[in-house]
Structure formats: C-alpha cells, structure tokens
Structure 1
Amino acid sequence: MDSKLQALESWAAGLLEQLQPAARNQLARSIGQELRRSQQKRVLLQENPDGSKFAPRKKRDLRGKQGRVRRKVEMFRKLRTATYMKARGDSNAVTVGFTGRISRIARVHQFGLKDRAERDAPEVRYEQREVLGFTARDLDQIRDSVLEHFIYST
C-alpha cells in the first residue's frame, strides 16, 4: 500500500505545482472531506483498511442493576462523527484525524497499545483495530478527485 501511495504522490506532485494556492486549498479540503466520509463508512462497517473485520470486543457482564440488560453498542459509534473525526486541508497537505482526548483512544486502538479502561482499572492491551487507513478505493478516489479538478477547472 505504501508503494501505491508514493506512486500517487509523485504523480500528483507535478499537477499540483501548476495550481494556485487557493485552488490547492480548495482541492485539499474537498479531498479531506471525501476521505473522512470513506473512513466514517468503513468504521461504521467495523472494517480494517484491508477489508478484515475489527477484532471483537471482549465479553462483558451486560447486567448493571437487577433486571436491566444494556444493549450491545457497536465500537466507535461517536468516534466516527464529524465532531471528533476532523478533515483539514491546506496548500501543502490533507489530514484526517481525531481531536482532543478522543485521539488517545483512537491511537490505542489503531496500534494495539496498552491503556486503562477507567482511572484505577488495570492496564489492558487492546486489539489492533485500524480506525484510520487507506484502502485501494481511497487512493482511486484521490486520483479521480485530482483529475476531475483539472478537467472541470479549465
């Protein structure tokens, strides 16, 4: 995947140099928004960039108080919202990432690190779940966006 990303970067570099900074900003913002949408869809489907499913949650006792059963909630439900998943673009770069405290949670899951579920809880190693990542479709989408911008802006 890295080689495809590098090939796309070298291909687009020559084209992007021809654009004015304002046009590059506009293109970067639109690509960032498209990437955020595709990441949100992938997280909703609970899939890694390679198409495999996220590692399932560990089993928990879903009974809180007597007689109540909490329903199971999919992972990263709030994490994928635009409030937390931000897309930024300027004339030099496009970034899609998380803000604030949520970024730590995403990083722990992205790389399968150790963390505490609560303040005094024991440290637990989380399964790796790639919340952010490029799929082949994302790379094609970026390429198509750059081409469309040049076709329709002239």
Structure 2
Amino acid sequence: MDELQRLEDWVTPLLGKLSASEQRALARTIARELRADNAQQMRSQQAPDGTKWEPRKPSGLRSGRGAIKRKAKQAPMMEKLRAAKHLKASATASEAVVGFVGRAERIARVHHFGLRDKVKPGGPDYTYPARQLLGITDAQIERVRELLLKHLSL
C-alpha cells in the first residue's frame, strides 16, 4: 500500500489543476479500467497478488445423470459476481470506486474474507475459504499513472 500512497501524493497536485468535471471523467475512466482488471482476475480465479484461489469443495458424486462416468466439470467460481450488474465502477470528482452492490456485496464479503455463512437459505453453515476478490496490483497502479498522464497530455 506504500506504492498506492506514493501515487496519491504524486497525483494530488496534478488533479488540483483540473476542473471538477475533468476530475470526474478521469476517475470514471480509472474505475472502469480497475473494474475490468478485477473481473479478469476473478475469471482466472486468482487473487490480485497472483496466488490461485483454493478450489471449490467437490460436491457429491451424484450431481446429475451420468455424472459419475463423465466426472462432471464444475462451473467456474464467482461467474455471476463479476458481471457488471453486481461489480460496479463509480466515480466522483475525488474518488474512483470499484465494489459490489446489493445482495452480491454480502456474498462477496463472505468469500473475500472467508467468513461463515449458510450454503443456501435454511441450509447448513459453512466456513468459506478466503478468496480475495478485489485489490490493486502494481501493474494497475502503473496503468493508473498512464491514464493520468494521457489525460493530462490531451
């Protein structure tokens, strides 16, 4: 996070020279980029630092007709959470925010921090392994710098 603080210290005087609408437009561009990067990381099922998520616990053998013979492949994790409907990018003149909204926010919090929750309503409790969904990497910080410089050079 020290790198993020250094970026903020570097950016603050530059942003002060922009109008509020220009700041908002820049923040919106940055938020969209970060949202796309985080969705890509979720698609590849890895944390922002590059470590792979703990695999999903295998379900019972009888999960559908013929599942034993074909060893049915499980669907990828967090497929719906990474959709733009749930993973939102928003911006104001002072900040760019990427986060989950609504019911998806609660589900994402459980998985991100590895909390205990019900598997389904009325079902058993399960302590989910922590799978970091959102974060910022050094490459993303560099991309933010590039976007800022590009915006300022126009």
| Cα displacement (A) at 1:74 | 0.5
Q: Where does structure 1 lack aligned partners over 5 or more consecutive residues?
A: none
Q: Separation in 2 of the partners of 1:68 and 1:11?
A: 59
Q: Separation in 2 of the partners of 1:122 and 1:82?
A: 30
Partner secondary structure for residue 111 of structure 2? helix
| Cα displacement (A) at 1:75 | 0.1
| Cα displacement (A) at 1:122 | 2.4
- Percent identity among equivalent residues? 37
In structure 2, the residue matched to 1:140 is 142
| Cα displacement (A) at 1:63 | 2.4
Tell me, yes or no, if structure 1 residue 46 matches structure 2 residue 51.
Answer: no
Q: Separation in 2 of the partners of 1:84 and 1:25?
A: 22
In structure 2, the residue matched to 1:36 is 35
Runs of at least 4 residues off by over 6 Å: none
Greater shift, 53-62 or 42-51, is seen at 53-62
8 Å contact kept, 1:49–1:133: yes
Q: Separation in 2 of the partners of 1:71 and 1:101?
A: 27
Partner secondary structure for residue 75 of structure 1? coil
8 Å contact kept, 1:48–1:131: yes
Q: Where does structure 2 lack aligned partners over 5 or more consecutive residues?
A: none
Partner secondary structure for residue 127 of structure 1? coil
Indicate the RMSD between aligned Cα atoms, in angstroms: 1.2
Greater shift, 132-141 or 113-122, is seen at 113-122
| Residues 18-49 of structure 1, C-alpha deviations (whole Å, 9 max, x = no match) | 10000001000000101111111111111101
| Residues 95-150 of structure 1, C-alpha deviations (whole Å, 9 max, x = no match) | 00111101111011111111111122222111111100011111111111111110
The TM-score with structure 2 as length reference comes to 0.92
> May I ask how many residue pairs the two structures share in their alignment?
150
In structure 2, the residue matched to 1:11 is 10
Which of 110, 122, 125 in structure 2 is aligned with 1:123? 125
Decide whether aligned partners of structure 1 residues 60 and 4 sit closer, same or farther in structure 2, where only a CA change above 3 A counts: same
